[in-house]
Amino acid sequence: MIMSLNHLLRGLGVFPVSLGLLLFTVPVKAGNWNQFSVCITQLEKFDVSGEDASIACSDALIPKELSECVSIIANATPINGNDSVRACFQVRRPIDLGNCVADIYNAVPGLAVVDPETDTQEINLLTLLNSCRTSLRPGFYSECVIATAREVTDMSPVRAMDICLSAQDFPRSLFPAYNE
């Protein structure tokens, strides 16, 4: 009885191994892991034409990061997909850009104000996108804008963006000999 139980356990131990070896022979569809097709598909979800998406993804250093940047911006803001692609393509760290735009938009309520006569919201959103793109450190920049807009009363979000973007590493009052 013990001998037959031992043989049974050995036989059951071989079954998973042989099944595992069999699964290694099953082919995997190559298109599922292609970062270019993932990028193009994701950009098309945000109203970027197929041709523009294919050009942007083929020229991007890391296509997945480009599409993730556009996805972050599109899910957090009403910014046009084509504008997002342009901005995300121009930076070294596209995901940081996307997080910068999303963080500022979600934290600063003045950016969502709509004035139908002047398209203020669109101007503010493009200013936000461009200022995050221009910043060398988008993470710190977004923190600066959020803190400045919250803590200083009567300051517009666009003014807070300008102040944080023009901040210098070497202020003249501390380093008067520093020349630009």
Q: How far apart are CA 97 and CA 89, in angstroms?
A: 10
177 within domain boundaries = no
**Does 171 map to a domain?**
no
Residue 88 belongs to some domain of the structure: yes
Domain that holds residue 125: 33-165
More confident call, 111 vs 88: 88
Q: What is the mean pLDDT of the chain?
A: 82
pTM: 0.72
In-domain check, residue 118: yes
Helix (H, G, I), strand (E, B) or coil at 29: coil
Highest mean pLDDT among 110-114, 118-122, 148-152, 171-175: 148-152
What are the structure tokens assigned to 26, written together?
């099953």
Mean pLDDT of 116-139: 83
Q: Is residue 72 part of a domain?
A: yes
- Compute the average pLDDT of residues 33-54: 92
Is residue 131 situated within a structural domain?
A: yes
Q: Give me the pLDDT at residue 176, please.
A: 60
Asked if the structure places residue 12 within a domain, the reply is no
Higher-pLDDT residue of 1 and 139 is: 139
Question: Considering just the CA atoms, what is the radius of gyration of the chain in Å?
Answer: 26
Q: What beta strand segments (E) does the chain contain?
A: none
How many domains does the chain fold into? Answer: 1
Q: Could you give the 3-state DSSP secondary structure of residue 24?
A: coil
> What is the length of the chain?
180
Residue 109 inside a domain? The answer is yes
pLDDT band (50, 70, 90) for residue 110: confident
